[in-house]
Chain A
Amino acid sequence: MASATILAFKAGRAFRREGTNFVDHSSEKGAIILQKGEDELLHLIWRNRSTNEVEEDLILFPGDASFVKIPQVTGGRSYVLKFSSSNQRHFFWMQDASISRDDEFVKNLNLVLEDPDRIPVWQIGSSSQPQASTSQAGSSRSAAAPSGTTPEQLAQLRSLVQSMSGNVPQGEPELSLNDILTPENLIPLFRSHPDLVPALFPHLPPDLPTQPSEEVMQQIISSPQFRAAVRNFDQALRTGMLGGLVRGLGLPEEAGTGVEAFLRAIQEQASGEDRMETD
């Protein structure tokens, strides 16, 4: 997978004069480019626009770096990239012809530095393409606007979300756990596998008014309260954000990214356990 450009804008570099607090702007034309590299890591690149050479390639960990204005420098367009993990400092100055876009670029840059999965938001009226010319045709990847978005931009956004992290957009679900964990499916299972029933007792509510039994278990799986819990879990799975939660069940993180993924992982887990039992 080639690198994906998240955003880019024109910027020059600046360097601290030895032994002083002065920062001298270098006049070379350049661009700051934020990319998700082939290594899946976030890269901040400075490319020289005259030579097209990449002269700086920094790997950034989420939340480590921030891009902050240096108010003392006149002109108001000087910034420093600083790190919480080290004393590194990289100085830049904005080179876009219009100063009015500075805030937007910086805000979006900081958003992504904090969390690389964030999607930058661009104001209506500004082109959705990053201003700097880059050889990666990554411009469509930064399109996202709250209102007044065209259908083309929405389609771009949808495919961007899908390509990013296996997140399935909130569209039509393929199947629901509520249609799998039905009394019609489960009661015959209890009948054909009687040992299963007592094996499930430890998972039942501890404060039931009666002792656990097959009948009680049937009542539970038919109850609106249990069905609501299944529906709740089904909806939560569809957000794709249950990676951490499912680890507690001995499943891989991938299992928490959706209903189908969860079921696949369960199938694997069951086959694995079967294999162990026959050893």
Chain B
Amino acid sequence: MSDEESGWHLTESDPGVFTELLKSLGVPYIVDDLYSLDPDSLAALQPIRALVFLFKWLPQSDTEPDPSLSSGSGAQYDPDFPGFFAHQVVNNACATLAVMNALGNIPSLPSGPQLQELFSFTTGMDAQTRGLVITSSDWLREAHNALSPPSAISLDGLGLPKTSEDAYHFIVYMPAMGCVYEFDGLKSHPIRHGVYEEKGEGWIAKAREVVEARIATYPQGSLEFSLLALREDPLPIIQSRLKQLQDAGRGNDSEAAELFVRLSNENSKRERWAFENSVRRHNHLGFIHALLVAMAKAGKLQPAAEGARTKMQERIARRKEVGMDLDE
């Protein structure tokens, strides 16, 4: 089914968007950017429920290697996986599909009734059918589409050449039944990467190996990627611990001070996400029009247009030098 026929809009893949989706699904988890896989960075974010690796190949790279099975530590397809695994049936739904593959394998997941119903309805189905059920789920599609810019001026269906703003490819790594699993909606089955030890970092240690091995299989500079962590929302935990300390008269000691810092960081992050989502979802047509009219009335539109023409010519000249396609 084409993206246009499916009614699923392409969404951005940033933590604020994912967290908003989780909220609308009634799941008290958040998604954060991971800038590093080192133990200290990850420890600060525990408990982490799943890692999401998103990437796209850059134009100059060669044909895709299939590095999932190259980590050498007994990675193999698991066609008999009893947990949740759905195929990606519509490209634009890729972000939500990855989230579903992660959430579907978290035991005792707190969630809203619609999500619970969806998971129980799809019990025992094969991956393709699950993918189709997810894709035809109206309420889920609406929750997904609510994250993207309004479709009043959607470019779908206008037949414009696709730019490199295409969808990322999403892969979920998480623990299931004592092993680290890889869920890739474009692969036929989940991939089992082997057992992990409960002690210390737990499954994260194994997952780190797998992800680093994967990244290493791509030629230098050929990959654009991000790592995200799906984790429990720390805000209520910080708040209740702080209250505990304050009630015990320890509101001024170092633990409380540290918690205040974390609380303040979390809050400003949420505010930033709320701001970005608000701007992202808004139809800016009226604003754009009003800004241009204001520029015109102030006599600034003509000079700005002249400047814009010059900039465009410079840009075209630079790209011709470098030999790039303008529509990139």
Could you tell me if B312 and A203 are in contact, using CB atoms closer than 8 angstroms?
Answer: no
The DSSP consensus for interface residues of chain A is helix
Chain A residue numbers with a CB within 8 Å of B177 are: none
Could you tell me if A241 and B288 are in contact, using CB atoms closer than 8 angstroms?
Answer: no
Chain B residue numbers with a CB within 8 Å of A274 are: 297
Could you tell me if A233 and B284 are in contact, using CB atoms closer than 8 angstroms?
Answer: yes
Q: Mark A186-209, 1 if CB is under 8 A from B, else 0.
A: 100100110010011001111111
* Distance of A172 Cα from B305 Cα, bound (Å): 16
Of the candidates A172, A193, A205, A221, the one whose C-beta lies within 8 Å of that of B316 is A172
A126 at the interface (CB under 8 A from B): no
Of A71-79, A87-95, A141-149, A223-231, the stretch lying at the interface with chain B is A223-231
Tell me the smallest distance from the CB of B272 to a CB of chain A, in Å.
Answer: 9
* Distance of A263 Cα from B284 Cα, bound (Å): 17
Tell me the smallest distance from the CB of A141 to a CB of chain B, in Å.
Answer: 22
Chain B residue numbers with a CB within 8 Å of A209 are: 271, 274-275, 278
B280 at the interface (CB under 8 A from A): yes
Could you tell me if A180 and B155 are in contact, using CB atoms closer than 8 angstroms?
Answer: no
Within 8 A of A (CB), among B295-323: 295-298, 300-302, 304-305, 307-309, 311-312, 316
B249 at the interface (CB under 8 A from A): no
State whether A189 and B161 are in contact (beta carbons under 8 Å apart), knowing that A229-B149, A232-B153 are contacts in the complex. Answer: no
State whether A273 and B153 are in contact (beta carbons under 8 Å apart), knowing that A204-B287, A220-B279 are contacts in the complex. Answer: no
Could you tell me if A200 and B276 are in contact, using CB atoms closer than 8 angstroms?
Answer: no
Tell me the smallest distance from the CB of A19 to a CB of chain B, in Å.
Answer: 51
Could you tell me if A175 and B308 are in contact, using CB atoms closer than 8 angstroms?
Answer: yes
Could you tell me if A223 and B279 are in contact, using CB atoms closer than 8 angstroms?
Answer: yes
Within 8 A of B (CB), among A224-256: 225-226, 228-230, 232-233, 235-236, 239, 241-242, 245, 249
Chain B residue numbers with a CB within 8 Å of A229 are: 149, 282, 284, 288
Of the candidates B280, B287, B297, the one whose C-beta lies within 8 Å of that of A270 is B297
Could you tell me if B278 and A236 are in contact, using CB atoms closer than 8 angstroms?
Answer: no
- The size bracket of the interface on A is 35 or more
Chain A residue numbers with a CB within 8 Å of B298 are: 189, 192-193
Chain B residue numbers with a CB within 8 Å of A186 are: 291, 295
Q: Mark B141-165, 1 if CB is under 8 A from A, else 0.
A: 0000000010011010010110000
State whether A205 and B281 are in contact (beta carbons under 8 Å apart), knowing that A267-B296, A270-B293 are contacts in the complex. Answer: yes
Chain A residue numbers with a CB within 8 Å of B278 are: 205, 207-209
Could you tell me if A219 and B312 are in contact, using CB atoms closer than 8 angstroms?
Answer: no
* Distance of A266 Cα from B190 Cα, bound (Å): 55
Could you tell me if B294 and A179 are in contact, using CB atoms closer than 8 angstroms?
Answer: no
* Distance of A205 Cα from B281 Cα, bound (Å): 8
Could you tell me if A203 and B295 are in contact, using CB atoms closer than 8 angstroms?
Answer: no
B109 at the interface (CB under 8 A from A): no
Of the candidates A172, A174, A181, A193, the one whose C-beta lies within 8 Å of that of B288 is A181
Chain A residue numbers with a CB within 8 Å of B274 are: 208-209
Could you tell me if B286 and A203 are in contact, using CB atoms closer than 8 angstroms?
Answer: yes
Of the candidates B153, B284, B295, the one whose C-beta lies within 8 Å of that of A189 is B295
Could you tell me if A249 and B312 are in contact, using CB atoms closer than 8 angstroms?
Answer: no
A218 at the interface (CB under 8 A from B): no
Could you tell me if B275 and A208 are in contact, using CB atoms closer than 8 angstroms?
Answer: yes
Could you tell me if B289 and A174 are in contact, using CB atoms closer than 8 angstroms?
Answer: no
Of all A-B residue pairs in the complex, the 5 with the closest CB atoms, nearest first, are A270-B296, A179-B308, A205-B282, A203-B287, A175-B308
**A175-B312, A229-B288, A245-B285 given. 12 additional CB < 8 A pairs?**
A170-B160, A176-B311, A181-B288, A193-B294, A203-B287, A204-B287, A207-B278, A208-B275, A220-B279, A223-B279, A228-B280, A236-B158
13 contacts across the A-B interface (CB closer than 8 A) = A179-B307, A180-B292, A186-B295, A204-B282, A204-B287, A208-B278, A209-B271, A219-B275, A229-B149, A233-B284, A233-B285, A239-B160, A269-B293
